[in-house]
Structure 1
Amino acid sequence: MAHGTRKAEGNEVARRLTAAAGERLGRPTVASYVELSEPLFADVMTNAEHPAVVVPLLLSTGFHMRTDLPEQAALASVPVSLGRQLGPDPLLARAQVERLLEAGARPGQRVVLVAAGSSEESATCDQMCAVAHLARAWDGQVELATLSGHGERPVDVIRPGDAVSPYLLSPGFFHDRLRREAPDGVVVADVMGAHERVVDLVVQRATQLAPASR
């Protein structure tokens, strides 16, 4: 279950992650979305005919995790096990490191992790934990900036010579905005996307949920 975006390539990330995890697990899968793309998670739950596990492809806590998803999962007439949000997690940090290196960042270079942001205090805690995971995986200084909600904005945090690691799964509005606003000469890594380490995490979460769905 992903948030959904108006960008087709953003929604494709959820489909690729879901398909890759299903192939490893040997289970039927479907990618769904909270909004902006089909199939909607609420519709998938309403039409579910078999017990299911739900792995949210969301990076922090917030309204969707606290309210939307439990309410929509309750629409199902079969047992549904709803997992917690995907991030923060060390596997995501490993994916971020590889994206930074692919973009040309140098080991030890100062990194700014840029998250979409939220007005939820719990999401800020998740973002700080993600910074700590990335600092360990990168073995260097990592600072936090957010594009909305609580926190400092990228323009106030990013310095010349920095590298930027988007704390985003999919391309879309926030990644486009980050690329536009990043200063010249600053390395901006790609989103995590359907990285192998993200697939590892989805498989891990689904496996943890599976016994509860039997």
Structure 2
Amino acid sequence: MTPALLLIAHGSRDPRHAATVAALVREVRALRPALEVATAYLDHCAPRIPQVVGRLADAEAVAVPLLLNRAFHAKHDIPAALRTAGSALPVADVLGPSPLLLAALDRRLAEAGLDVASAAVRARTGVVLAAAGSSDPAADAATRAVAAEWRRTRGWAAVEVAYASAAGPRVPDALAALRAVGVERTAVAPYLLAPGLLPDRIAEAAGGADVLADVLGPAPELAALLLERYDEARTAAPSLAA
């Protein structure tokens, strides 16, 4: 039996969050129709982890966190919730870093009207990678590494990181830093998975940018990445590797 994919999302009071997760699950199912995909939430939304784990009790499954960085939710909340539910399911790695995330960021900027296919345009454009922010220094360092790799591989004039919560810099600070180095055009790319309070905060703060991209959402690259993490965890788990 092929193990199910248990997608674990954070959850939000904003209904757009669950709608985005559902759209992403549809993308995953379209890529691999025979795979059973279930969804559980840490907070705010239903079903919660114990409910879904109970339904999967007699089946093998791999838990895949819908998280970009290894911060508190990945290190503590998800393992604790699975333990409380009496589950020993293998847990896949978080999504970032990955070239597929960079491709998804490119996609969202292109949809917002930036000619990302043009090397000349990229060389004149400074981008703000706007993330949620974390109290975990390693998570913020991982986001900065993503920004550096995105600039290196795409040839942006500059890439600055901004955070919607926790410590700064904020989006206006990052935009000011881009203008200080003389970029001709600025763009803000939310490094966030679904709409909600923090993406709305980023959008409001990005009023001075020339281009504002959407959140990553149900991008096909994100669906492919979820399956990549599922496959890696399935191969690594001794009971599922056969």
The alpha-carbon distance between structure 1 residues 33 and 120, as it changes in their structure 2 partners (threshold 3 A), is same
Q: Take 1:207 and 1:185, find their aligned partners in 2: how far apart are those partners?
A: 39
Matched, 1:208 2:239: no
Q: TM-score, normalised by structure 1?
A: 0.91
Question: What's 2:182 paired with?
Answer: none
Matched, 1:4 2:14: no
Per-residue deviation, residues 88-134 of structure 1 (Å, max 9, x unmatched)? 21110111011111112243111010001011111111111221232
**How do 1:23-172 and structure 2 match up within 5 A?**
23-25=30-32, 26-49=34-57, 50-77=59-86, 79-106=88-115, 107-108=121-122, 109-140=125-156, 141-159=158-176, 161-172=185-196
Shift of 1:156: 1.0
Per-residue deviation, residues 171-203 of structure 1 (Å, max 9, x unmatched)? 111111111121345311001111111111011
Any gaps of 5 or more consecutive residues in structure 1?
Answer: none
Matched, 1:16 2:40: no
Q: Take 1:88 and 1:149, find their aligned partners in 2: how far apart are those partners?
A: 21
Any gaps of 5 or more consecutive residues in structure 2?
Answer: 1-7, 116-120, 180-184
Shift of 1:79: 4.6
Between 70-79 and 120-129, report the one with greater CA deviation: 70-79
Aligned length: 214
Q: TM-score, normalised by structure 2?
A: 0.81
The alpha-carbon distance between structure 1 residues 2 and 70, as it changes in their structure 2 partners (threshold 3 A), is same
Q: Take 1:126 and 1:177, find their aligned partners in 2: how far apart are those partners?
A: 22
Give yes or no for contact 1:145–1:153 (8 Å, CA) kept in 2.
yes
Shift of 1:45: 2.5
Shift of 1:167: 0.3
CA-based RMSD = 1.9
- For residue 82 of structure 1, what is the amino acid of its counterpart? V
* Partner SS for 2:38: coil
Shift of 1:68: 1.2
Matched, 1:183 2:207: yes
Give the structure with higher Rg (CA): 2
Q: Take 2:91 and 2:207, find their aligned partners in 1: how far apart are those partners?
A: 40
* Partner SS for 1:110: strand
Q: Take 2:87 and 2:188, find their aligned partners in 1: how far apart are those partners?
A: 43
Q: Take 1:16 and 1:171, find their aligned partners in 2: how far apart are those partners?
A: 13
- For residue 151 of structure 2, what is the amino acid of its counterpart? A
Percentage of matched positions with identical amino acids: 33
The alpha-carbon distance between structure 1 residues 22 and 73, as it changes in their structure 2 partners (threshold 3 A), is farther
The alpha-carbon distance between structure 1 residues 156 and 44, as it changes in their structure 2 partners (threshold 3 A), is same
Per-residue deviation, residues 125-177 of structure 1 (Å, max 9, x unmatched)? 11112212322343212111111113311121114631001001111111111
